[in-house]
Structures are given as structure tokens and as C-alpha cells.
Amino acid sequence: MNISEEKIRNQTKRPNNKRHEKSLLKEFSGEIMIGTLLFIIVLFIIEDSGIKNTIIQRISFLSRSIEQRLIQVFDGSIAVISKIGIGDMLGGILGTASVIIVFMRIRKKIILRYNELSYCPECGEKLYLIHRSSPQRFVSKIFRLKMHRFKCKKCAFNGVRIRHFHSR
């Protein structure tokens, strides 16, 4: 390759994708929160006016109202639970557990079946990513899966690769 072809190739290169770069707020969110808390602490230590008393009164009112709401919820739930029999509760727990186990098994079977797909199984060409359909997005959200849809440019093959949600 001569120098002019290399210059043209470098000029037509796509710019780096900035999608994965973190913003300053996301990158330093912990430090910002710590700094804000330190500022508030210093303000409370130095300040002797009514602002501190007002904030303390608001916080105590909020905590009392939350406490009252929790007591109401617990009293209501205890009344409902006392009307339900032990057999009903065990049936509900076992039913919920069986639904969770079924979902976990379906998820595992889906991952095992569609785990590997990089090249077209019909012609052997490299596959290209295309947009997922709405049902595929729905299934990936429900079962917590990472789903990619591929298409072959040479033949008419369309396929899906499914992996664990936190895999690469």
C-alpha cells in the first residue's frame, strides 16, 4: 500500500465511539457526594442559626411519618396473614418457587442453545449485527439475557446469539 492510499484510508476511518466513555458526573459521582456531605457537615458545625433546627425538625417529622406508615402496613399484613391458613401460605411459596425454577431452566436452555454464533453456518462468512425485534428485546429483559441478532450478507441467513447478561 502506498502513502496516498494510507492517507485516504486514515481519513475515511470512523471516529472513536464515545458511547463507552463516562461523563464527568458519572465518573466522579462518589467524590461529588462526599464533598457535598462534608460541606453540609461543616455547615452544621459552624451554623448556629435556625436553619439547623428547621432541618432537624423536618427530618424527625419525616422519620415519624415513615414509622407510622410502616406500622399501618405491618398491622394490615398481619391481619391478612392471620386469615390465611398455613396450607395456603405453603402452596403460595411452593408455587412461586416452581415458577422461578421454570424461568431459570428456560433461561439456561436458551443460553445453551444459542450461545455461539460468529460465522454463518450455511456459507461460513462472517455475520453482521442488525437491530433486534421487539419480542427479542422483551425476552432479553424478562430472562436477563444479552441477545444479539446477526445477518449474513452473502446468503439469507438470520440468527441470534444469546449469552449471560454480564458476559462479553
pLDDT of residue 110: 79
Mean pLDDT of 35-62: 79
Mean pLDDT of 159-167: 75
In the chain, % of residues over pLDDT 70:
82
pLDDT at residue 14 tops 60: no
Query: pTM value?
Result: 0.42
Contact (Cβ atoms closer than 8 angstroms) between residue 166 and residue 144: no
pLDDT of residue 69: 92
What residue ranges do the domains of the chain occupy? 86-168
pLDDT of residue 64: 92
Mean pLDDT of 128-156: 85
Give the three cell numbers for residue 34: 462526599
pLDDT of residue 5: 57
Length of the chain: 168
Cell 465518573: give the residue: 27
- At 93-109, the pLDDT tens digits run 888 999 989 988 888 88
pLDDT of residue 18: 53
Phi and psi at 57, nearest 5°, equal -65, -40
